[in-house]
C-alpha cells in the first residue's frame, strides 16, 4: 500500500531507452553487477517480456477501454525490475520472524473493542471514512456478533534505514494485501529465467570484455528465497472454507468495478479451484447490495449462492463507497456468518492511528505475554506520534524533511512529505480544530539507494532506486484453535528514489525480488 522513502535529486540519470539502449560511459564499481554488455541486456529484456506475458505477469492497460473490467482486453506486463534487489540476509530473517507475532497481535487487538473505539474516537470526529467503519463495528458490538472463525491475510512493510542499519516497519496491512500472486512470479522470473539462463552465460561469452571485473555478473540464483505467497494465501482461503463446513458455499472476492490488477487476483482464484476444488465468485460492493441477502440462519447469499469466505480486494478506500449502496453491502457482510477477510475489527487494527497507539510504552504488553516477542516488535517500530504531542509537532514544522504525515488511508498516494508537512501542520494549528486527529506523524526512513533496471510498458530504463520489503502473513483461527499462523512469502517493491510514494498498483513502484547478501 503506501510507502515512504528518502528523496534524492538525480543530477545525471542513466536512461536505457526502449529500442535504443544507452549506457553510462563511466566504468562501474566492482559492486555494480549491472555492467552488462548491451547486446546481452537487450536479449535478457526481450526474453523477460516474453516470459512475463506467457506466465500471466500482466495488468490491464489503463489507456485501453474495458482493460479493467473484461479479462484479456488490453493487457500489458506488470512493472518489474530486470534484476533482483540486494537485501541483508540477517534483516530478511528478522522480518520473516516477525510475521507470526504480528498475526497474533492483530487477532488479539481485534478482540479489544474498547481499545479500538477509544483509540479512534477523536479520529472519528474528523474522518468520515473511519467514522463509518467504526459505526459498523459498534453495530456488531450491539448485536453481540462473534467472529469465531477469523482469517487474516496480512502484509507488514519494512525499509532498511541506511544510517542506523535498522529494519523499520512502515505499516501493517490487514485488508487487500495485494500481489501475493505476482510476487512469486517475479521471483521465478529472476531466479530461473534471468540468473540461471543468462548471467553465467554472460560471464563466459563476454570474458574478454569483462575479465577485469572478475565475478561481477556471477550472481547465485540460490540467493533468491523461494516465494510461496500465492500457494499459502490459497491454502489459508481453502482451509477457511473447510472450517465454514458448507460444501455448497463459495469464496467471494470483493473487487473494484475497474480492476487493472485483476490477474493477480485471478491467480489466487484459479489455484483455489485447482488445488482445493473451491469455487469463487467476483462481486463489487454495489452488486453485493443488489444481489445479497441474509438468510434466517445467518448465511450470506449473493445471487443465490451461499458465501463461506468474503475476501476483500476492495473496500479499503473511500472511493470504493461512492453511495449508501456500498455501505449497506459492507454492513450486510459483517452481520452474516461468512468468514470475513478482514472482519471489521481486523480492518480497524490496520489503521495508522492504531499502529501509532501500539507503539506507545506498555501497550504491546496488554496483548502479548512473551517478552521476547514484544522486544522484537519494538525493535522494528519507527518513531510514531500523535499530532497532539506539541514537542514533536514543533520539531516537524522546523525539520519537515525528517517526518511523514499520514492520514487513515490505504492504497498509495495519500501521505504528505517535505515542506507540505510544515504547511499542513501550520494550517491545522491556525484552524484550531480537531482535524489533526485525522493524521499521525511518522519518522521518515532513509534507505540505501542503488541502481537498477526498470521494465515498464515494454521499455527498459536504468535509474537510482530504493526498495521496500513486505512480508506476508496468514492466520486462521477457529475459536481457541489456531489452525494457521505463518510467514507466507514476500513482496519486494522497488521505485525510483526521487518518488515519495511506493504502490505498484498506484503507479509508483515496480515488482522485484530479494537477493540475499
Question: Which residues are catalytically annotated?
Answer: 155, 171, 173, 178, 352, 406, 410-411, 493
Please tell me whether 75 is known to bind a ligand.
Answer: no
- The CA distance from 124 to 174, in Å, is 19
42 is in an annotated binding site: no
Task: Tell me if 218 is assigned to a ligand binding site.
Answer: no
184: how many CB neighbours lie within 10 A of its CB? 22
Least Cα distance to 6 among 409, 479, 448, 384 occurs for 448
Residues 6+ apart with CB under 8 A from 499: 5, 7, 508, 509
Question: What nine digits make up the cell of 473?
Answer: 502473513
408 has binding-site annotation: yes
What single string gives the DSSP state of each residue in 110-134?
HT-HHHHHHHTHHHHHH-HHHHHHH
- Residue 282 annotated as binding site: no
Length reported for the chain:
517
103 is in an annotated binding site: no
259 among annotated binding-site residues: yes
Q: Say how far apart CA 496 and CA 79 lie, in whole Å.
A: 12
390 assigned binding-site residue: no
288 is annotated as contributing to ligand binding: no
Q: How far is CA 224 from CA 187, 201, 202, 367, 514, in A?
A: 7, 19, 19, 35, 6
Please state the separation of Cα 45 from the chain's center in Å: 26
Residue 300: count of CB within 10 angstroms of its CB? 24
Q: Is 492 exposed, middle or buried (0-12, 13-18, 19+ CB in 10 A)?
A: buried
467 with 508: CB under 8 angstroms? no
Establish whether 505 is an annotated binding residue: yes
Residue 203 marked as a ligand binder: no
Contact (CB, 8 A) for 251 and 279: yes
443 labelled binding-site residue: yes
414 annotated to a ligand binding site: yes
Q: Is 507 annotated as a binding residue?
A: no
C-alpha cell at 240: 477457511
Report d(CA 44, CA 21) in Å as an integer: 13
Q: Please check if 422 is assigned to a binding site.
A: no
Are 494 and 509 spatial neighbours (Cβ–Cβ below 8 Å)? yes
Please report where in the chains the cell 476492495 appears, as a residue.
314
Q: Coil, helix or strand for 344?
A: helix
Angle at 15 between CA 12 and CA 19, to 5 degrees: 155
| 142 belongs to an annotated ligand binding site | no
- Is 504 annotated to bind ligand? yes
178 is in an annotated binding site: yes
What's the grid cell of residue 22? 544507452
Beta pairing, strands 300-302 & 305-312: antiparallel
* Euclidean distance between CA atoms 54 and 453, whole angstroms: 21
* 53 among annotated binding-site residues: no
Distance CA 385, CA 357 (A): 8
Q: Annotation-wise, does 412 bind a ligand?
A: yes
Residue 235 marked ligand-binding: no
Residue 315 assigned to a binding site: yes
Q: Is 171 annotated as a binding residue?
A: yes
Mapped onto helix, strand or coil, the DSSP state of residue 241 is helix
Residue 411 marked as a ligand binder: yes
Structural element, H or E, at residue 133: helix 128-142
Strands (E) across 334-458 are located at 339-341, 384-386, 403-407, 439-443, 450-456
User: Is position 407 annotated in a ligand binding site?
Assistant: yes
Backbone dihedral region of 179: left (phi > 0), alpha (psi from -120 to 50 degrees) or beta?
left
176 known member of a binding site: yes
The rounded distance, in Å, linking the Cα atoms of 441 and 362 is 20
To the question of whether residue 410 is assigned a binding role by annotation, the answer is yes
Which residues fall in the annotated binding site for substrate?
A: 155, 175-178, 259-261, 265, 313-316, 493, 504-505
**Annotated binding-site members for ATP:** 171, 352, 406-415, 417, 442-445, 468, 495, 501
Give binding residues for Mg(2+) as ranges.
Answer: 171, 173, 410
| Binding site members | 155, 171, 173, 175-178, 259-261, 265, 313-316, 352, 406-415, 417, 442-445, 468, 493, 495, 501, 504-505
Amino acid at each position: 500500500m503506501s510507502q515512504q522513502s528518502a528523496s534524492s535529486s538525480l543530477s545525471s540519470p542513466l536512461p536505457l531507452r526502449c529500442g535504443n539502449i544507452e549506457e553510462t560511459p563511466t566504468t562501474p564499481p566492482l559492486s555494480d553487477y549491472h555492467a552488462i554488455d548491451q547486446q546481452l541486456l537487450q536479449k535478457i529484456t526481450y526474453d523477460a517480456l516474453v516470459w512475463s506475458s506467457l506466465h500471466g505477469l500482466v495488468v490491464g492497460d489503463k489507456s485501453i477501454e474495458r482493460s479493467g473490467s473484461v479479462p484479456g482486453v488490453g493487457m500489458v506486463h506488470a512493472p518489474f525490475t530486470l534484476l533482483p534487489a540486494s537485501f541483508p540476509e540477517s534483516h530478511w530473517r528478522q522480518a520473516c520472524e516477525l510475521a507470526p507475532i504480528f498475526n497474533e497481535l492483530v487477532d488479539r487487538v481485534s478482540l479489544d473493542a474498547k481499545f479500538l473505539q477509544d483509540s479512534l474516537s477523536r479520529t472519528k470526529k474528523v474522518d468520515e471514512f473511519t467514522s463509518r467503519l467504526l459505526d459498523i463495528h459498534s453495530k456488531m458490538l450491539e448485536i453481540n456478533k462473534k467472529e469465531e472463525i477469523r482469517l487474516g491475510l496480512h502484509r507488514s512493510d519494512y525499509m532498511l534505514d541506511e544510517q542506523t542499519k535498522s529494519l523499520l516497519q512502515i505499516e501493517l496491512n490487514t485488508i487487500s494485501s495485494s500481489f501475493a500472486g505476482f510476487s512469486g512470479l517475479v521471483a521465478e522470473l529472476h531466479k530461473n529465467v534471468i540468473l540461471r539462463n543468462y548471467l553465467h552465460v554472460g560471464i563466459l561469452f563476454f570474458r574478454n570484455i569483462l575479465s577485469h571485473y572478475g565475478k561481477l555478473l556471477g550472481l547465485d540464483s540460490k540467493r533468491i528465497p523461494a516465494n510461496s505467497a500465492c500457494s499459502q494465501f490459497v491454502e489459508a482461503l481453502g482451509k477457511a472454507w473447510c472450517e465454514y463446513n458448507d460444501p455448497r458455499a463459495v469464496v467471494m472476492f470483493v473487487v473494484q468495478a475497474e480492476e487493472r490488477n485483476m490477474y493477480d487476483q485471478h491467480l489466487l482464484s484459479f489455484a483455489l479451484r485447482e488445488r482445493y476444488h473451491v469455487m469463487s465468485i467476483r462481486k463489487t460492493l454495489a452488486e453485493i447490495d443488489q444481489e445479497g441477502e441474509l438468510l434466517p440462519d445467518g448465511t450470506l447469499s449473493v445471487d443465490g449462492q451461499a458465501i463461506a469466505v468474503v475476501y476483500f480486494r476492495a473496500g479499503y478506500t473511500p472511493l470504493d463507497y461512492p453511495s449508501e449502496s456500498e455501505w449497506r453491502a459492507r454492513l450486510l457482510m459483517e452481520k452474516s456468518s461468512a468468514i470475513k477477510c478482514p472482519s471489521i475489527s481486523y480492518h480497524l487494527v490496520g489503521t495508522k492511528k492504531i499502529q501509532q497507539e501500539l507503539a506507545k510504552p506498555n501497550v504491546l504488553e496488554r496483548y502479548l505475554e512473551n517478552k521476547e516477542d514484544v522486544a522484537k516488535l519494538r525493535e522494528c517500530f519507527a518513531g510514531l506520534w500523535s499530532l497532539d504531542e506539541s514537542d514533536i509537532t514543533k520539531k516537524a514544522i522546523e525539520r519537515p524533511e525528517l517526518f511523514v504525515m499520514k492520514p487513515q488511508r490505504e492504497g498509495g498516494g495519500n501521505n504528505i512529505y517535505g515542506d507540505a508537512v510544515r504547511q499542513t501542520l501550520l494550517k491545522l494549528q491556525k484552524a484550531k480544530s480537531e482535524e489533526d486527529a485525522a493524521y499521525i506523524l511518522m519518522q521518515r526512513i532513509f534507505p540505501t539507494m542503488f541502481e537498477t533496471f526498470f521494465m515498464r510498458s515494454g521499455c527498459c530504463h536504468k535509474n537510482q532506486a530504493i526498495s521496500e520489503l513486505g512480508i506476508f502473513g496468514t492466520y486462521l483461527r477457529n475459536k481457541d484453535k489456531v489452525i494457521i499462523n505463518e510467514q507466507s512469502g514476500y513482496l519486494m517493491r522497488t521505485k525510483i528514489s526521487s518518488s515519495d510514494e511506493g504502490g505498484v498498483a498506484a503507479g509508483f513502484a515496480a515488482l522485484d525480488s530479494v537477493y540475499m547478501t
